[in-house]
C-alpha cells in the first residue's frame, strides 16, 4: 500500500465511530485538484450519521468517512485545471450528480435539485467526506475563497443553506409587489420581518444573512432571556425572543406580520405551530430533517385557510448549488466587515482529530465546533 492518512469514519456494520487509515488520494483526471484539509465543521447531520440514523458508505466499503463542511488548501492541480493554484483556499461542494441521462437537474449541474435521488453526498451518502487529511475531486466542485477569510471560511457550507433559501425567496416573492419604495440602500429585505426558528449554527448564520439583506430579524429559540447567545444575536442587529417567555402567539404579537419564517431546528411541532401565524404574503422556509417521532395533530382547516387566504408559500430546501456557495463566500466577507467578533464567536472551538468522539457522540455545546488538521499532516 502507498502512503496512508487518517480519517474519521463510521462503520455501520459494527455500530462504531473511529479513526481509520485511508490511502492518500492521487489525481485521477486532468481536471482534478488535490486539497490538504484545514478544517471541518461538525453538524447535526454528522451526529445523526454517528448514531446510525442517516448516512450510507460508498458501495463496497464497510465504512463512511464523514464530514461535509470543509475548508481546504490546494496542494496539486491537474493539467486541465484553470483558475486554481497550489496555496489557494477552497470550499468544496457536497453533492455529486446522479448518473441518469433523464435527470435534467443533474445534467444541468443542479444536483441540489436532483429528480432521481441517486445523487451522492460527500461525507453523507455513498461518498467519503472531508474529515481526513487529503481530498481529491474535480475542480468543478471547488469554490475559491479569499485568503482573508481563512479564519471563518469553514462556516461557508452551513451558510449556503440560508443563501439557497434567499436566492429562491427573491424569485418567489417577485411574483407580487414586495419591495417598498425605500428598499434600495437597505437591501431587498428592507421593511420586511424575518423570524428564525432556532439559534444553532444554521439559524444564527441565517439570521446574519437576513440582517445583511435588511430584514428586521428575530431569532426565536428555547434558550432563556439571560443566555450568552442573546448578546451575540443583538450584536449583529437581530433580536432574540425566548420560547420560555413567549408562546408562538406572543411572538406574533411582538413582531407583527411575519414575512419570512426560516426553520433551523428540525423540530416539526414548533415549526407547524409557527406556520399558524405566518403573515400575509409570507413565505415559510423549512431546512431541517426531523427524525420520525410519530404523528402530531395539526389544524389542517386553519392552515389551509391561511395558506389560501394569505397567499402563503411553504418552501422546503436542501443542499446548495454553486450560486449559493458564491453567495455564502461573499456574505461571510460582508459579515466579517460588519460584525467580525460575532462571526468569530460562532466558532466555539477548534479541536484535534483525536477529540472526534466527544464532538460526534457527546452532548453538543456552543455553536460550531471544528476539527482542525493544521500541522497534523
Residues forming contacts to Zn ion in the complex (CB under 5 A) are: 98, 103, 106, 114, 116
286 binds, among ligand BGC, Zn ion, none (CB under 5 to 8 A by kind): none
Closest residue by Cα to residue 128 from 7, 6, 2: 7
- The residue count for binding ligand BGC (CB under 6 A) is 9
114 binds, among Zn ion, ligand BGC, none (CB under 5 to 8 A by kind): Zn ion
Cβ-based neighbours of 283, under 8 Å, separated by 6 or more: 169, 172, 173, 259, 260, 261, 312, 313, 314, 315
- Across 329-361, b (16+ Cβ under 10 Å) vs e yields bebbbebbeebeebbebbbeeeeebebbeebbe
User: Under a CB-based contact definition with an 8 Å cutoff, are residues 24 and 133 in contact?
Assistant: yes
Looking at the Cβ atoms of 95 and 128, the one nearer to ligand BGC is 95
- Helix or strand holding residue 76 (H, E): strand 69-77
Rule CB under 6 A: choose which of 19, 136, 314, 318 binds ligand BGC: 318
Grouping H, G, I as helix, E, B as strand and the rest as coil, residue 336 is helix
DSSP string, 118-155: --EEETTBEE--SSBSEEEEEGGGEEEE-GGGTTTGGG
Query: How near is the Cβ of 116 to Zn ion at its closest, in Å?
Result: 5
> Cell numbers at residue 88, please?
489557494
Given the DSSP bridges, would you call strands 260-263 and 193-197 parallel, antiparallel or unpaired? Answer: parallel
Looking at the Cβ atoms of 68 and 95, the one nearer to Zn ion is 95
Rule CB under 6 A: choose which of 8, 35, 98, 124 binds ligand BGC: 124
Closest residue by Cα to residue 371 from 23, 132, 83: 132
Query: How near is the Cβ of 60 to ligand BGC at its closest, in Å?
Result: 21
Query: How near is the Cβ of 316 to ligand BGC at its closest, in Å?
Result: 12
Closest residue by Cα to residue 153 from 324, 39, 43, 320: 39
> Cell numbers at residue 211, please?
440582517
- In sign, the C-alpha dihedral spanning 107, 112, 113, 117 is positive
Query: How near is the Cβ of 257 to ligand BGC at its closest, in Å?
Result: 30
Residue 155 lies near ligand BGC (rule: CB under 6 A): no
User: Under a CB-based contact definition with an 8 Å cutoff, are residues 36 and 89 in contact?
Assistant: no
Residue 163 lies near ligand BGC (rule: CB under 6 A): no
40 binds, among ligand BGC, Zn ion, none (CB under 5 to 8 A by kind): none
Query: How near is the Cβ of 153 to ligand BGC at its closest, in Å?
Result: 15
Rule CB under 6 A: choose which of 34, 36, 63, 68 binds ligand BGC: 68
116 binds, among Zn ion, ligand BGC, none (CB under 5 to 8 A by kind): Zn ion
43 binds, among ligand BGC, Zn ion, none (CB under 5 to 8 A by kind): ligand BGC
Residue 122 lies near ligand BGC (rule: CB under 6 A): no
Tell me the C-alpha distance between 135 and 93, whole Å: 12
Residue 319 lies near ligand BGC (rule: CB under 6 A): yes
Query: How near is the Cβ of 356 to ligand BGC at its closest, in Å?
Result: 17
CA of residue 362 relative to chain centroid, distance: 21
Looking at the Cβ atoms of 63 and 95, the one nearer to ligand BGC is 95
Looking at the Cβ atoms of 200 and 279, the one nearer to ligand BGC is 200
Tell me the C-alpha distance between 368 and 152, whole Å: 11
Residue 73 lies near ligand BGC (rule: CB under 6 A): no
77 binds, among ligand BGC, Zn ion, none (CB under 5 to 8 A by kind): none
Rule CB under 6 A: choose which of 7, 8, 9, 43 binds ligand BGC: 43
Rule CB under 6 A: choose which of 88, 121, 137, 263 binds ligand BGC: 121
Provide the binding-site residues for ligand BGC, judged by CB under 6 A. 43, 45, 68, 94-95, 121, 124, 318-319
Amino acid at each position: 500500500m502507498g502512503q496512508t492518512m487518517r480519517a474519521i469514519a463510521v462503520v455501520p456494520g459494527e455500530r462504531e465511530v473511529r479513526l481509520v487509515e485511508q490511502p492518500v488520494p492521487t489525481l485521477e483526471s486532468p481536471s482534478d485538484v488535490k486539497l490538504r484539509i484545514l478544517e471541518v465543521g461538525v453538524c447535526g447531520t454528522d451526529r445523526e450519521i454517528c448514531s446510525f440514523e442517516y448516512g450510507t458508505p460508498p458501495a463496497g466499503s464497510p465504512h463512511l468517512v464523514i464530514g461535509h463542511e470543509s475548508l481546504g488548501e490546494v496542494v496539486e492541480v491537474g493539467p486541465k485545471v484553470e483558475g486554481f493554484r497550489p496555496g489557494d483556499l477552497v470550499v468544496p461542494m457536497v453533492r455529486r450528480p446522479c448518473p441518469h441521462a433523464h435527470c435534467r437537474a443533474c445534467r444541468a449541474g443542479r444536483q441540489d435539485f436532483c429528480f432521481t435521488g441517486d445523487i451522492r453526498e460527500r461525507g453523507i451518502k455513498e461518498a467519503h467526506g472531508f474529515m481526513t487529511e487529503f481530498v481529491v475531486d474535480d475542480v468543478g466542485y471547488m469554490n475559491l475563497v479569499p485568503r482573508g477569510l481563512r479564519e471563518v471560511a469553514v462556516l461557508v457550507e452551513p451558510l449556503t443553506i440560508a443563501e439557497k433559501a434567499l436566492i429562491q425567496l427573491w424569485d418567489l416573492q417577485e411574483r407580487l409587489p414586495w419591495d417598498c419604495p425605500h428598499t434600495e440602500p437597505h437591501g431587498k429585505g428592507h421593511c420586511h420581518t424575518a423570524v428564525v426558528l432556532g439559534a444553532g449554527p444554521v439559524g444564527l448564520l441565517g439570521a446574519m444573512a437576513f440582517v445583511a439583506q435588511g430584514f428586521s430579524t428575530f431569532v426565536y429559540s428555547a434558550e432563556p432571556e439571560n443566555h450568552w447567545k442573546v448578546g451575540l444575536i443583538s450584536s449583529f442587529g437581530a433580536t432574540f425572543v425566548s420560547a420560555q417567555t413567549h408562546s408562538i402567539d406572543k411572538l406574533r404579537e411582538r413582531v407583527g406580520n411575519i414575512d419570512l419564517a426560516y426553520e433551523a431546528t428540525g423540530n416539526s411541532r414548533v415549526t407547524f405551530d409557527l406556520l399558524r401565524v405566518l403573515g400575509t404574503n409570507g413565505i415559510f422556509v423549512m431546512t431541517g430533517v426531523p427524525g420520525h417521532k410519530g404523528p402530531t395533530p395539526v389544524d389542517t382547516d386553519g392552515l389551509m385557510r391561511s395558506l389560501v387566504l394569505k397567499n402563503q408559500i411553504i418552501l422546503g430546501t436542501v443542499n446548495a448549488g454553486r450560486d449559493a456557495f458564491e453567495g455564502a463566500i461573499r456574505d461571510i466577507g460582508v459579515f466579517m466587515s460588519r460584525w467580525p467578533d460575532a462571526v468569530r464567536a460562532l466558532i466555539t472551538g477548534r479541536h484535534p482529530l483525536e477529540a472526534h468522539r466527544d464532538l460526534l457522540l457527546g452532548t453538543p455545546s456552543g455553536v460550531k465546533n471544528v476539527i482542525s488538521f493544521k500541522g497534523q499532516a
